[in-house]
Amino acid sequence: MLNHRFNPLQIKGKTLLPVVQGGMGVGVSAHKLAGAVAALGAVGTVASVDLRHHHPDLLAQSKDIKDQAGLDTLNYIALDREIKLAQHTASGNGMVAVNVMKAVASNVGYVRQACESGADAIVMGAGLPLDLPEVTASFPHIALIPILSDSRGIAVILKKWIKKNRLPDAIVIEHPAHAGGHLGATRLDDINNPKFEFDRVLAETHDVFRELQLGERQVPLIVAGGINQHEQVAHYLANGASAVQLGTAFAVTQEGDAHENFKQILANAGPDDIVEFMSVAGLPARAVLTPWLKNYINREARLQSNAKADPARCTQGMNCLSVCGLRDGLAKVGQFCIDLKLAAAMRGEVARGLFFRGADPLPFGAAIRPVRELIDYLLTGTRPALA
């Protein structure tokens, strides 16, 4: 474990570096990245959604499958493989978590597969994971970590889970104004609401802990979004947080699971290249303004005006999301197949892919560096010699 001056992150009896690698799908954070992060003593995260894209044999089988249950089965096999490979790389160090989006229709199946395959933790966002304690009741040793964005949502989860005799093992507080991918706000106009500021949410959440009389059972809080400097880590760990979470900065490391083109697109994006838009899941999202996304945004109003509820519009026939603007005819949200676009991005197809990214500069600029150097910089302030 790297030397640093901060208190360790304690989850389920594990002593960890106070750094969490965020889950990034489709296939951006799979076993290579998650295993490398965990091997150093931090929390690595496999993003569960549609991992079959990393497995040619499963992709070949999926060509003959036209129903959601069959595709789910292949994705569960892929998730099982990725968890076991990540745990092998970690060699008993750190923690291998699995991120599951509540918005995914098969979220219960992904959670159960992750538990059965030996994940150390389930991380769930994109919706309130009210039923997570019941779904994982047969696996009490697995840590449960919801992703929320404000103290109100945290209070809701705590009160609901306490009635089920369960507390979260940690909580990720994700800031919509900084994070990449799907954002924890209901509207684009809400992204910069002051209620999401970390210092405010941390203070209000500790007030909730006192209101609920948690005492020594207080839950570790992990801030996520916009963390790119050692000084920020020091600030938040001194002001109520137990750890920090990063996504994009880990996605562009040498160990990242996505194609090198993907890493270069994210690493070279400047402020003018990063945009917010409404995704197909009915949530705001943030991504790089690639040629495909620019063209889509230009056509968005026309596509939305032609929205109609029709399962045949689902280009994969997957019904992967419980709510999908394209399939369900939701005129105010995205009108494209997100699975196809994210899979293309993971493969590095610049002209076709949707490249989710956080809003802030990366710690090492456009440089693609090892996971170890990133974690070392976050915790000690030591920068590598960059060309």
Q: Is pLDDT above 60 for 317?
A: no
pLDDT band at 244 (very low <50, low <70, confident <90, very high): very high
Q: Is pLDDT above 80 for 355?
A: yes
Using DSSP, state whether 285 is helix, strand or coil.
strand
pLDDT band at 258 (very low <50, low <70, confident <90, very high): very high
- Quickly list DSSP for 51-113: GGGG-HHHHHHHTT--SHHHHHHHHHHHHHHHHHHHHHHHTT-SEEEEEEETTBTTHHHHHHH
Q: Which helix (H) or strand (E) holds 210?
A: helix 198-211
Using DSSP, state whether 322 is helix, strand or coil.
coil
- Name the E strands within the chain: 9-11, 14-16, 19-21, 43-47, 95-101, 121-125, 143-148, 171-174, 181-182, 221-224, 243-246, 274-278, 284-288
Two structure tokens written together for 127 = 């919706």
Q: Is pLDDT above 90 for 336?
A: no
Architecture category of domain 9-258+364-380 in CATH: Alpha-Beta Barrel (3.20)
Amino acid 185: pLDDT: 87
Q: Is pLDDT above 70 for 318?
A: no
Q: Is pLDDT above 90 for 314?
A: no
Q: Is pLDDT above 70 for 225?
A: yes
Average pLDDT, the chain: 93
What percent of the chain shows pLDDT beyond 70? Answer: 97
pLDDT tens column, 3-31: 678 999 999 999 999 999 999 989 999 99
pLDDT band at 103 (very low <50, low <70, confident <90, very high): confident
Domain boundaries, the chain: 9-258+364-380, 267-346
Q: Model-level pTM?
A: 0.94
More confident site: 16 or 67: 16
pLDDT tens column, 116-152: 999 999 999 888 999 999 999 999 999 999 999 999 9
More confident site: 184 or 18: 18
Amino acid 145: pLDDT: 98
Amino acid 1: pLDDT: 58
pLDDT band at 66 (very low <50, low <70, confident <90, very high): confident
Amino acid 5: pLDDT: 87
pLDDT band at 312 (very low <50, low <70, confident <90, very high): confident
Amino acid 363: pLDDT: 97
Mean pLDDT in residue range 83-104: 96
Two structure tokens written together for 381 = 């302030």
What separation in angstroms does the CA of 362 have from each of 28, 245, 271, 369? 17, 13, 11, 11
